[in-house]
Amino acid sequence: MEVPQDIGFEIFSWLPAKSICKFKSTCNTFSKFSEETLFRKKQTQNLFGRDDTCLFIQSDEVSQRYIPKRIELYSLPKHQESSGAPNNVLSFLSKNTTSVIASSNGLVLCHNINDPLKVFICNPITKSWSFIPIPESLQINNNFANAKLMLHCSLDDYKVYFLFENTMEWNPTYTCSVYHGKEGVWKTMERCFLPGGRDMKFDMPVFYNGALHFISNSGEYYERPSPFYKPYIMSYNLENGISTMFRLPREAIRDCHRPCNNMGIFNWGKASNSNGSICLVKIRKSTFTVWYLRDYESCSWEKVFKMRVRAMGLKEKDLDVTSFTVVNGNLLVFATNERVYSCGLDDKRFMVIEEICQHNCGFNPHFISYLDTYRSCGINAKTMPC
Amino acid sequence: MAEEKSQASSSKMLTLKASDGVLFEVELNIAKEMKTVQAYIDDCEDIETIPIPNVLGKHLAIVIEYIKKTNEEYDAEFEKQWNMDDLQLLLLAANYLNISGLQECLCKAIAKRIENKSPEYVRKVFNIENDHSPEEEAKLRKEYKWAFEGVDKD
């Protein structure tokens, strides 16, 4: 039974990019699909909101500066065959001291470690990139070397958020300038982000409910009755610029002033359905605990997971967990000194442990999840020289 | 007179005749989900039996049931019951009858089933000829070598 071309086109537009590339050798007609703008747009839209299937693993930026290591891309469990990106693009990025900052719907936000003004969006599948033009006025007034960058994609546009520290105050505040990819314009938010007295963990931003959320560090910097005595979450409303403090679960912050305490916040569940929320992951004394924010308005948390690392049946003897993240709102990914593992947090694969890879990214590897699509890098997009 | 007609139309029944002669009596609002049938009705108002020449009775039955029951849960389980041949025939039916929800559901399902397979498998499934020259094919396989890592055995 022969399938008409337009049906083949439709079916292919639901495939991840790696499969589409593989099937180019099927026949001439199929090999040309991915060259069409309409096809790329369809495939991007069809895959929007789908779970990420791969993981970028890199050393932290400080290490990268002195001992540059290859940016590695590994498949998440159950996606070994269908997902990936071209090796030569990864090599190219690695050679040019690039750091991957964020990824969404197939776009990857990067910057050059040695030249912080070189910030770009790229798509490893289409081998295209688009450098973000940084106006002189922004360059003069802000320190790009210390800027905190975040990426957010909607269906037809992307925004890159830059937070610049205003160091004149005792408690630093941050000016937020946003680059809109579709129009190629910059807008600066009227109100600054006020994170309060503690440092924020800007490397784990959570976009939720129209606001950016960050968790603060822990540690003994304050005494009672300071409002910053315990660690907290601070949100920054992206519409009106208002900063709001969220308290953390009591159990999580009970012993927060002791060392060896590590907490992070991540997206929880699916943003598309009403189960989406924020989760808090804490690791202390080699035990992972996860809470999710059951009610945003009243800030009530519910514990959903607790597991000792020793009980996970991992290969190595030295079970020092260094970094962790939650991917797709339902998968805990963490690293020991040698390997990266995943642990299911949702009903389907609750507490199922799988090994993702061995890594040589040192003490504090960074994880960024990725899904291979044909999404356009927007205006100014050029072909990557690789 | 006109009022009576519109009141009756919601429970008006229509007959669809599949390619192998099997007849299906369906409510008008079900039939209207098939845009091809809707166009037929628009053209000839008084029609009672509509021929569906491209679709077997077996598949028309499945399509009608889909329209009646479709929701997120049903769609998620729907495709699991059918083999690849049936999925393709159902997709052709949905395409002919112009039912966008069902088309999307089936395209997604077929894509999911082929995504880890080899190009040879895809050619077999879609019954297509390899019209690449050996040099072209070798070039593509080399350029996209990374995409061939981890392919299911057929």
CA distance A58 to A50: 23
Task: Name the average pLDDT for chain B.
Answer: 88
Q: Complex ipTM above 0.85? A: yes
| B26 closest CA partner among B78, B75, B64, B81 | B64
Element (H, E) at A98: strand A98-104
Instruction: Report pLDDT for A124.
Output: 96
Q: Which two tokens stand for residue A136?
A: 């002189």
Which pairs with CB-CB distance under 8 Å and at least 24 residues apart come from A129-137? A129/A377, A129/A381, A129/A382, A129/A384, A130/A181, A130/A377, A130/A378, A130/A379, A130/A380, A130/A381, A130/A382, A131/A380, A132/A160, A132/A179, A133/A184, A133/A380, A135/A186
Nearest Cα of chain A lies from the Cα of B62 at a distance, in angstroms, of 19
CA distance A80 to A358: 15
Q: How many CB pairs under 8 A join A and B?
A: 97
Nearest Cα of chain A lies from the Cα of B143 at a distance, in angstroms, of 9
More confident position, A380 or B107: B107
Q: Which of B146, B148, B153, B154 to mutate to test the interface with A (most CBs of A within 10 A)?
A: B146
Q: Which two tokens stand for residue A240?
A: 């009106």
**Inter-chain touch B151–A81, beta carbons under 8 Å:** yes
Cβ partners under 8 Å of residue A240, min gap 6: A191
- Model pLDDT for residues A198-216, shown as the tens digit of each residue: 999 999 999 999 999 999 9
* For residue B9, pLDDT beyond 70: no
Instruction: Report pLDDT for A273.
Output: 67
Strand intervals (E) in A124-205: 128-131, 148-153, 158-166, 173-180, 185-188
Q: Which of B110, B118, B143 to mutate to test the interface with A (most CBs of A within 10 A)?
A: B110
**B116 contacts in A (CB within 8 Å)?**
19, 81-82
Nearest Cα of chain A lies from the Cα of B95 at a distance, in angstroms, of 8
CA distance A235 to A249: 16
> Between A16, A21, A28, which is nearest B131 by CB?
A28
**B150 contacts in A (CB within 8 Å)?**
75, 80-81
Instruction: Report pLDDT for B154.
Output: 61
* For residue B1, pLDDT beyond 50: no
| B106 closest CA partner among A25, A27, A3, A53 | A3
Cα B11 to chain centroid distance, Å, stands at: 26
- Model pLDDT for residues B20-73, shown as the tens digit of each residue: 999 999 998 999 999 999 998 888 877 788 999 989 999 999 999 999 999 888
Taking only Cα atoms into account, the Rg of chain A, rounded to an integer number of angstroms, comes to 21
Give the single-character DSSP code of A175: E
Asked if the C-beta of B131 comes within 8 angstroms of chain A's C-beta atoms, the answer is yes
Helices (H), A96-166: 136-141
* For residue B105, pLDDT beyond 90: yes
- Spans of chain A, pLDDT less than 50: none
Nearest Cα of chain A lies from the Cα of B66 at a distance, in angstroms, of 19
**Dihedral sign computed on CA atoms, order B51, B57, B62, B65:** positive
